[in-house]
Amino acid sequence: MPDLKEKKCLIAYFSRAGNNYVGGQIVNLEVGNTKIAAEIIQEIIGGDLFQIDTVTPYPKDYSATTNVAKKELNENARPKLTSHVTNMDSYDTIFLGYPNWLGTVPMAVFTFLEEYDFSEKSIIQFCTHEGSGMGHSERDIQKSCPDAKILNGLSIYGSQVNSSKKDIENWLDKLNML
């Protein structure tokens, strides 16, 4: 396992507030679960935060968002992003956070991954979900970034993200980040 403590880290994440499936029901989230996880990671190890966000916002309604996500997945869409990392070359390690949508990353995350050259970089994914874990997202990220070093990711139940700091610390410790 490489020593990542001295590496410059970017914590890039896609997160969605609004109606979300949490703990078996639809609830309104003022802040998306993945954003909370990203902020916990930043609190523990530092690094720069970057939110992956789409030009066309997803609906606040959960069912409507699910329909958009299915359409994007079926069309292999690459939604346009609102902003871009201008200094990606300066980062050695990229933490990549996302909710598990339909067994993989939201298509906006693929847009993000395809914008940059991740050769010689370490990508460490973290995923929020409500029972589906990482799905096949790790394999999909590896396909998208074949020259990156993909390290062990962490899946976090969205309904438990607010109490996940210890789990995140343990994971980061195993990655030699502490």
Output the six-digit token pair for 46.
């530092």
Identify the pLDDT of residue 56.
Answer: 97
Identify the pLDDT of residue 1.
Answer: 44
pLDDT > 60? residue 4 = no
Whether residue 156 is contained in a domain is answered as no
- Looking at residue 44, which CATH number applies to its domain? 3.40.50.360
Q: Beta strands 25-29 and 18-22: pairing type?
A: antiparallel
Give the dihedral sign, CA 90/93/98/102: positive
Q: Which of 89, 1, 96, 9 is nearest to 44 (CA)?
A: 9
For 115, the 3-state DSSP assignment is: coil
Whether residue 113 is contained in a domain is answered as no
Q: How many domains does the chain have?
A: 1
Whether residue 153 is contained in a domain is answered as no
Residue pair 123/147 in contact (Cβ under 8 Å)? The answer is no
User: What pTM was estimated for this model as a whole?
Assistant: 0.95
Whether residue 175 is contained in a domain is answered as no
Whether residue 5 is contained in a domain is answered as no
| Average pLDDT estimate for 35-42 | 98
> Which residues have a Cβ under 8 Å from the Cβ of 150 and sit 6 or more positions away?
122, 123, 124, 125, 138, 141, 142
Q: If residue 68 lies in a helix (H) or strand (E), which one and from where to where?
A: helix 62-75
Whether residue 108 is contained in a domain is answered as no
Whether residue 87 is contained in a domain is answered as yes
DSSP 139: H
- Kindly report the number of other CB atoms within 10 A of residue 8's CB atom: 13
Query: Which tens digits make up the pLDDT trace of 71-126?
Result: 999 999 999 999 999 999 999 999 999 999 999 999 999 999 999 999 999 999 99
Whether residue 48 is contained in a domain is answered as yes
| Average pLDDT estimate for 154-176 | 96
Q: What angle do CA 47, 39, 149 make, to 5 degrees?
A: 50
Domain of residue 31, residue span: 11-103+123-142
